[in-house]
Chains A and B, each alone.
Chain A
């Protein structure tokens, strides 16, 4: 036999490895970028990084293609044709920044709220929010309002944090893991890593989801639920736990407000509020003395069950007894909910029995001493090893906030929040709602040329904190923090263009957006939004939204509608900070933050948006962005990251402060970024053992949090099963207090703002005819594409090049639909024609598709005949930003009434087979022209061929 070829098993992989942070989605994994001959040879996960611990997903691995995308914008652009024509002229940065600062300056001197500044998938909200504040407009938010604000806000109001950035399952110790509405998107690598670990440990995994994709496919139990009924299923699980007497009473007494006393005086302004003492502390009934005492009293054993009266004879009842009244009732019996949820009663009972069995029969105890907030010492940390995770599936409904609250309460009843084996908080969470700012921007505080008094986004506690004028009208363009959406902690980005176009509550002068594809997949009613962006005021010939500044790195659909385009860099060409002041990347046992830095040379005339924003801020003379002489305070974003202080000693990055050794608090350190780079692009600091669990009530953790600069004094608190904040809004709806909801919203506020979550049907399904629109329609993000900024990526688009409509086998049978058939799908708002694929592992009354695969012809430098445009589609065309008219002439926002979360998943549709002789997707949009300075890409990609020369030299 011939000798086999000699191959080079020892190639030099790269000249240099630069460690930075991925931005292919919102996970923010650490990556090692291998560079060879100045090009990117390879991107792999950083093994030391807390988020991904070495692994990397499909998107992260496709970063090479994203970075080299032909759709990258190349220079600032000024629109020269009509909006949407794609006709632009390249301009200099000087001209671009002068134009922008002139537009913005005029608005600021006249009426700063006429600037609407909304940033989409922004990972620099600590800067962008501060910039809006210093500018003086309340009209700021990022994309949370149309993503998962229900999850985030319900978590803050209930536990002081939700899932993902706020906390995670105790992967090492949990013995049962239950997911609700989790597709393979947010927190994707950590959840994948966790599921792998759990399954190898033999831990049972349950997934509640109408659609069986990735995680649900490997779960031990897939619970195919009717969309929008998760809250009802959770209430039934709670019912079962009560029925079988399996809840953690000790945990409820120690760590929740279950023993707190509530005033029971219906028809009075105090009804449903906590019975407070002179210091304002909620009170409990002392078990031994029968006296009312502050819940903070040391050594007190609160009574859980008895009612009592206060000094003037008003009846007081415990939260716990209200919980039992509300939830241990016929309507939540599994037999009563099964027809709506589609989950058989026997299955509900089984699930509840399993949760209880693991929680109460597999209690774990780890031998770590700790001291609680009252000073009581505990010899060990006890835990109930049931953990949960939830995401958009339960969040993006009009009942999502209360559903998310119910889920947290289920966790509390099992005693499994922030305990060994349960769900664990990640610093700087937990943080009670009281530790969060209220939204700034009351009508009288918006003044020409002046900053706002605080951050535009926050957490209202009562109607007093609403941003409404004397007539009760919204102050904000998106109507956030108004009676339309009182607790809209992330704003309502999906309503901005619609409201600005309608001049309701007022028109805007400048719309300034970043990384937000509102002319396509990020808007409900995309075609309508396109019309609004191009609609002209007949009186003066101006666009109804007069000026639109947009920043993006790529030629997205939205670019064509901008008047001025500020081109951003790719994620490998920029500085960024993944800050504790923003959306953190900590782990339960460690504080962490990270940076991005330019790991490849920038060769286009583009600038990082954050540096541009600081430049604009300096040109406008915004406080904090100029020095005493009016000169720019920060050279660029990198300079800001190092030198900006939010309060003395606390800046965007918590690591390597002061002399380089200070953590959390410390003076700015000019070598800070170098230290991050040397350390692999991130910084991590472990919690002391005694601070690892029970963080909200743990004295050691609270001191750690103060030392780190999360807050300035220990701020322990108890979890809020009963939300007094919600009750205050409800009291207003019942006529009490000076701030009254408008009549058309009064009943809705009264019904939905229950201080203990109660399930109500999603609005759209409740309002459209069940016989006309009997089918639920959903979207999911595919694992290989979620948040990955478009499908121009030549590798990823070979995985998901177009999206079929997945139709349940039951629906397919009923309508004789087969794979590849074209079908019409209708909603109350519109109709689309799309191609179907039959799926069995799907809720019988549901259709779904991958979101944001469909592209508009001409966008993203794709050929007009690319399947993204000819077969791909958006369900968005069926979803209106407003609900159907109710008979009173008014249309409500298609959002959660509490938080304003876009109710994407409330959609109800009908389906019918289309004429097979008339295939093709509907609606079709005209091709948009790419900005003229973009080069049409070669049709063939042979990435890596540039390394071949080196190969020749070796062999």
Chain B
């Protein structure tokens, strides 16, 4: 059993993911893999890489599903990675202390040197956000690119997680969700950002922005209920009359 920090910093780094504009392109997924497989710690390995049952360790995945009602069907793309929970059950369940939540910024990490690959943390995580590396048998998870965000070897604008840096639609934002005045906190307030599965009482730091209400400029019934709209016959004479008067106004 591992303890969460007793006196955590107010800083809570995390991601804000906009479901309104995520098109499910997997850019974040693969760029994450690409960055992190070459990072400190075990590579994110792939087994049966060229064969059947190909699988590998990923820190971020996109789930695509349909939400249907009797009359509508909506495809939703849902990116999911570690949510860096304030009350992280993956940390408290860890028997070796390998899983921990950083005091200074709240990032949940795995100390691979102490990980025995027991998989309890993956079992405890209600989000399925941890993956066992199939080769090294150590637990892999989103590090929030801790080797990027403070890294002075990178230009300042690149000190964000790889998934944020690469996202083509701009559906991912990174920042301090513990600071109510930060850009990401404001975004969450403005857009009604929500916790994933709050009933699990994990207090996730990452937030999701819900799809915006669909914008319609004109109610679908207005155009069709205009008086003249019911006539399907073209009023060609009337049209030419309009052209003549419109042209007169032009000249």
List chain A positions with a Cβ less than 8 A from chain B. 1-2, 4-5, 7-13, 36, 41-45, 47, 52, 54-62, 64, 70, 176, 184, 188-189, 192-193, 195-197, 199-200, 202, 204, 212-218, 220-221, 239, 242-243, 245, 249-250, 253, 287, 301, 304-305, 324, 328-330, 333-336, 345-347, 349-350, 352-354, 357-358, 783-784, 792, 794-799, 801, 809, 839-842, 861-863, 865-867, 870, 937-945, 947-948, 951
- Given the known interface contacts A9-B147, A353-B222, A866-B52, the answer about A47 and B157 at a Cβ–Cβ threshold of 8 Å is yes
B215's partner among A188, A202, A335 (CB-CB below 8 A) is: A202
- Given the known interface contacts A7-B109, A10-B150, A239-B234, the answer about A861 and B23 at a Cβ–Cβ threshold of 8 Å is no
Chain B residue contacts of A4, Cβ below 8 A: 100, 102-103
Chain B residue nearest to A213 in the complex (CB): B75
Chain A residue nearest to B77 in the complex (CB): A217
A58 touches B25 (CB 8 A): yes
- Given the known interface contacts A4-B102, A9-B147, the answer about A329 and B170 at a Cβ–Cβ threshold of 8 Å is no
Q: Supply 30 A–B pairs (Cβ within 8 Å), ascending by A.
A: A4-B100, A5-B100, A9-B146, A12-B153, A13-B154, A44-B158, A59-B30, A189-B168, A197-B170, A214-B24, A221-B216, A243-B234, A245-B246, A249-B243, A250-B250, A301-B251, A305-B244, A350-B216, A350-B218, A795-B34, A799-B29, A839-B66, A841-B68, A867-B54, A939-B47, A939-B51, A940-B46, A941-B49, A944-B39, A945-B42
Q: How far is the CA of A57 from the CA of B165 in the complex (A)?
A: 11
B27 touches A941 (CB 8 A): no
B31 touches A940 (CB 8 A): no
A217 touches B75 (CB 8 A): yes
Chain A residue nearest to B36 in the complex (CB): A944
A9's partner among B150, B168, B242 (CB-CB below 8 A) is: B150
Q: How far is the CA of A215 from the CA of B171 in the complex (A)?
A: 13
B39 touches A11 (CB 8 A): yes
- Given the known interface contacts A243-B234, A349-B229, A943-B38, the answer about A1 and B3 at a Cβ–Cβ threshold of 8 Å is yes
Chain A residue contacts of B233, Cβ below 8 A: 330, 333
A54's partner among B165, B221, B250 (CB-CB below 8 A) is: B165
Chain A residue nearest to B113 in the complex (CB): A5
Chain A residue contacts of B134, Cβ below 8 A: 940
> What distance in Å separates the Cβ of B14 from its nearest Cβ neighbour in chain A?
17
Q: How far is the CA of A947 from the CA of B34 in the complex (A)?
A: 13
- Please provide the chain B residues from 2 to 32 with a CB less than 8 Å away from any CB of chain A in the complex: 3, 5-6, 20-27, 29-31
A329 touches B234 (CB 8 A): yes
- Please provide the chain B residues from 69 to 117 with a CB less than 8 Å away from any CB of chain A in the complex: 73-77, 97, 100, 102-103, 109, 111
Q: How far is the CA of A13 from the CA of B26 in the complex (A)?
A: 23
Q: How far is the CA of A358 from the CA of B216 in the complex (A)?
A: 12
Q: How far is the CA of A330 from the CA of B35 in the complex (A)?
A: 59
Chain B residue contacts of A217, Cβ below 8 A: 23-24, 74-77
Chain B residue nearest to A938 in the complex (CB): B49
Q: Which 3 A-B pairs have the closest CB atoms?
A: A196-B169, A840-B73, A863-B51
B56 touches A193 (CB 8 A): no
Q: How far is the CA of A336 from the CA of B103 in the complex (A)?
A: 67
B220 touches A350 (CB 8 A): yes
> What distance in Å separates the Cβ of A20 from its nearest Cβ neighbour in chain B?
16
B186 interface residue, CB < 8 Å from A?
no
> What distance in Å separates the Cβ of B228 from its nearest Cβ neighbour in chain A?
8
Most buried by A among B42, B166, B168, B229: B168
Chain B residue contacts of A943, Cβ below 8 A: 37-38, 43
- Given the known interface contacts A62-B30, A346-B223, the answer about A336 and B40 at a Cβ–Cβ threshold of 8 Å is no
Most buried by A among B49, B54, B74: B49
> What distance in Å separates the Cβ of A242 from its nearest Cβ neighbour in chain B?
6
Most buried by A among B39, B219, B233: B39
- Given the known interface contacts A47-B157, A798-B56, A866-B51, the answer about A41 and B38 at a Cβ–Cβ threshold of 8 Å is yes
Chain A residue contacts of B38, Cβ below 8 A: 36, 41-42, 943-944, 947
A11's partner among B111, B147, B212 (CB-CB below 8 A) is: B147
A13 touches B151 (CB 8 A): yes
B239 touches A324 (CB 8 A): yes
Q: How far is the CA of A52 from the CA of B251 in the complex (A)?
A: 45
Q: How far is the CA of A13 from the CA of B147 in the complex (A)?
A: 9
- Given the known interface contacts A58-B27, A863-B50, the answer about A304 and B224 at a Cβ–Cβ threshold of 8 Å is no
Chain A residue contacts of B201, Cβ below 8 A: none
A212 touches B73 (CB 8 A): yes
Chain A residue contacts of B29, Cβ below 8 A: 58, 799
Secondary structure at the B interface, as helix, strand, loop or mixed, is: loop
- Given the known interface contacts A58-B25, A783-B25, the answer about A199 and B20 at a Cβ–Cβ threshold of 8 Å is yes
> What distance in Å separates the Cβ of B79 from its nearest Cβ neighbour in chain A?
12
A346 touches B50 (CB 8 A): no
Chain B residue contacts of A47, Cβ below 8 A: 157
Q: How far is the CA of A944 from the CA of B167 in the complex (A)?
A: 22
Chain B residue contacts of A861, Cβ below 8 A: 50
- Given the known interface contacts A213-B75, A353-B218, A798-B56, the answer about A57 and B168 at a Cβ–Cβ threshold of 8 Å is yes
B75 touches A62 (CB 8 A): no
> What distance in Å separates the Cβ of A662 from its nearest Cβ neighbour in chain B?
31
Chain B residue contacts of A301, Cβ below 8 A: 251
- Given the known interface contacts A13-B153, A794-B56, A939-B49, the answer about A354 and B218 at a Cβ–Cβ threshold of 8 Å is yes
B207 interface residue, CB < 8 Å from A?
no
Chain B residue contacts of A70, Cβ below 8 A: 50
Q: How far is the CA of A764 from the CA of B120 in the complex (A)?
A: 57
Chain A residue contacts of B146, Cβ below 8 A: 7, 9
A36-B38, A794-B49 given; 16 more Cβ-contact pairs under 8 Å: A5-B111, A188-B25, A195-B23, A199-B21, A200-B170, A214-B23, A217-B24, A243-B228, A304-B247, A330-B232, A352-B223, A353-B222, A794-B46, A840-B68, A866-B54, A941-B46
Chain A residue contacts of B141, Cβ below 8 A: none
Q: How far is the CA of A943 from the CA of B251 in the complex (A)?
A: 70
> What distance in Å separates the Cβ of A607 from its nearest Cβ neighbour in chain B?
26
Q: How far is the CA of A248 from the CA of B65 in the complex (A)?
A: 42
B77 touches A214 (CB 8 A): yes
Chain A residue contacts of B235, Cβ below 8 A: 243
Q: How far is the CA of A750 from the CA of B158 in the complex (A)?
A: 59
- Given the known interface contacts A7-B109, A352-B223, A861-B50, the answer about A56 and B251 at a Cβ–Cβ threshold of 8 Å is no
Q: How far is the CA of A197 from the CA of B56 in the complex (A)?
A: 33
- Given the known interface contacts A13-B154, A57-B27, A792-B50, the answer about A200 and B21 at a Cβ–Cβ threshold of 8 Å is yes
A937 touches B49 (CB 8 A): yes
A55's partner among B54, B97, B166 (CB-CB below 8 A) is: B166
Chain A residue contacts of B48, Cβ below 8 A: 863, 939
Q: How far is the CA of A942 from the CA of B45 in the complex (A)?
A: 4
Q: How far is the CA of A5 from the CA of B103 in the complex (A)?
A: 11
Chain A residue contacts of B218, Cβ below 8 A: 350, 353-354, 357
A55 touches B234 (CB 8 A): no
- Given the known interface contacts A7-B109, A184-B23, A346-B223, the answer about A220 and B49 at a Cβ–Cβ threshold of 8 Å is no
Chain A residue contacts of B73, Cβ below 8 A: 212, 809, 839-842
Chain A residue contacts of B109, Cβ below 8 A: 5, 7
Chain B residue contacts of A942, Cβ below 8 A: 37, 42-43, 45-46, 135
A346 touches B49 (CB 8 A): no
B27 touches A61 (CB 8 A): yes
> What distance in Å separates the Cβ of A387 from its nearest Cβ neighbour in chain B?
15
A865 touches B52 (CB 8 A): yes
Q: How far is the CA of A795 from the CA of B146 in the complex (A)?
A: 23
Chain B residue contacts of A939, Cβ below 8 A: 47-51
A795 touches B30 (CB 8 A): yes
Q: How far is the CA of A62 from the CA of B29 in the complex (A)?
A: 10
- Given the known interface contacts A55-B167, A336-B232, the answer about A305 and B247 at a Cβ–Cβ threshold of 8 Å is yes
Q: How far is the CA of A329 from the CA of B166 in the complex (A)?
A: 49
A42's partner among B23, B35, B47, B55 (CB-CB below 8 A) is: B35
Q: How far is the CA of A1 from the CA of B165 in the complex (A)?
A: 35
B27 touches A245 (CB 8 A): no
Chain A residue nearest to B20 in the complex (CB): A199
Most buried by B among A59, A799, A944: A944
Q: How far is the CA of A44 from the CA of B168 in the complex (A)?
A: 12
- Given the known interface contacts A61-B34, A350-B224, A944-B39, the answer about A9 and B229 at a Cβ–Cβ threshold of 8 Å is no
